[in-house]
Structure 1
Amino acid sequence: MELNQISPYIRVAMDSVIESPWTIEERMIWDYELLFLMEGQLEVRVEEQIYEGRPGDVFFFKPGERHAIKSKGTQTIRQPHVHFDLNVLPDSPDVTVSFKSIEQMSEKEKEWFRTDLLSTSPYFIPNHFRPRDSAHLERVLFDLIREHETKPPYYEFRVKSAMLDLLAILLREQYYGGKANKEGQVEFLSEIRTYIDRHVNQNVTLEELSEKFHVSKFHLIHLFKTMFQMTPIQYHQYIRMERAKNSIQFSNTPLSQIAEQLGFANIHTFSRAFKTVMGKSPSHFRVNR
């Protein structure tokens, strides 16, 4: 596969919210599907393998694979997803999303199966995994969905770009995950990230992390960036600002109170940090919500 020649065709991109119980009977799809489980629980069968899906999990379905999906429990299922071809093909506009088993397909439909190029090294993407940086994946996926649904001028460039970004995220997950597993660092780094997550509302320093987890600052930065593509402090600032952005957009809490809740000394320090990470001021997200 020549990476420079990849030009995805986006067939469907949507944020789907479904009440339980919900089932997709066994089917084969002609294209690829990326499904990100945000809410609820799923039981997913791919060929003979059964997976339990929790919020934050990714499912990746490939052309010609038998699979079935059903909800577990009573919670609403939220599963933004995208169907795509890896490259634009002459029949790409004609191919639909399949809900059929191979036995139910016409001879013409059986000709629609795309060649699967994402099941062998070095471009292998598994059917199910839990990304280390789900916030990044979620953000790019929703950028794609918004562009595809609203179709502003030249949206075609943006959806292709977002899909390529998603593919890079998925492939890097496997590349860096495999490397970290070989080095035996997954649990250690996950513990550090959990600590940062739990201290989102206060300052966290490299010195503090180095002392608590008995690792040099240089080695900590190297390991963390290899796994999560950002330093520990960058990650802390990012999740801090994501939480702030959600509060700004989805509540009427004063900006000064949000700043205080997240451990900032004052609104001015908060505003500078927010703009550095998000590229826009806090008031921009409050006005444009």
Structure 2
Amino acid sequence: MKEIKSLKNEVPKQHLVIENESEFRIELPFDSDASHIYYLGVNHYENWSTSIHYHDHFELCYVDEGYSQYKIDKTVYEIEKGQLLLTKPEEIHFGLAGKHKPFKLYYIGFRLERLHSLFPEFYRIGLQRIAHDQDSRVKALFEHMITEIKNKAYLSLPMVEGLFQQLLVTTLRNFLDPALAAEAPPRPLNDAITEVMNQLHREVRYNYDPEQLAKSIHISRSHLAREFKNAVGIPLGEYIRHLCLDKAKSELRSTSKAISQIAEELQFSSIHTFSIFFKRFTGQTPTLYRQSTKSNL
């Protein structure tokens, strides 16, 4: 139970803005009593990924460039440009960008308890969690909402809440229209790969030994490498790198830990090695990334 609780992402407690060349994210754009939106953002990181987690709210993602993979519980979904993906409350999930392609992802976290006509409709969406964005309407609504919030326009709260409800209804129409369902069916993961992924997420660190991981599930290293890439879509080493990047960004953004402590917890050999790794895959040093998240508070 403690392990499951540790995966939970709590809802934001205070207003936060992250804005740089690769990311815009705003948490609690409005007072939580007046708005249904917990966070809203767009991400351009080519190496984007999230750690495994769950939360008490809904989350909607839209891929505008490249492609992405999401694991929800024990099922893998592949999302292409122009497609939506929905996660529901309490579902354990994570996502990562496809390899070596420009990537752009819009996303929003929201609650529905006070929208009584829409709340049950979102639970009607079943195992098929991917749908096409007909005529790019969802994308246009995401962009309009972000523009309103960035510009701090007059009466932006009622405008954004109105756009948000249009987003919800448009999303439901896309998901519940059989003609807009994604062609590719979801893929269940086998138990061995699920166990390896659970190990990697239980303790995120840089220095995993693939040989030891393979021994822990009683297969050869080459077999693990082949099965992992077939199941997840990227090599094991690249997947570990995604986890480390996401964990590092989260620690830099939401804690006051020293960079040397973060490097040590991720089991890099030195802070220098960690800083080179971080800049190579984000384009920023850890210090600059932290400053970019604090300067917008």
- TM-score of the superposed pair, with normalisation by structure 2: 0.44
TM-score (norm 1): 0.45
Q: Whose RCO is larger (CA < 8 A, sep 6+)?
A: 2
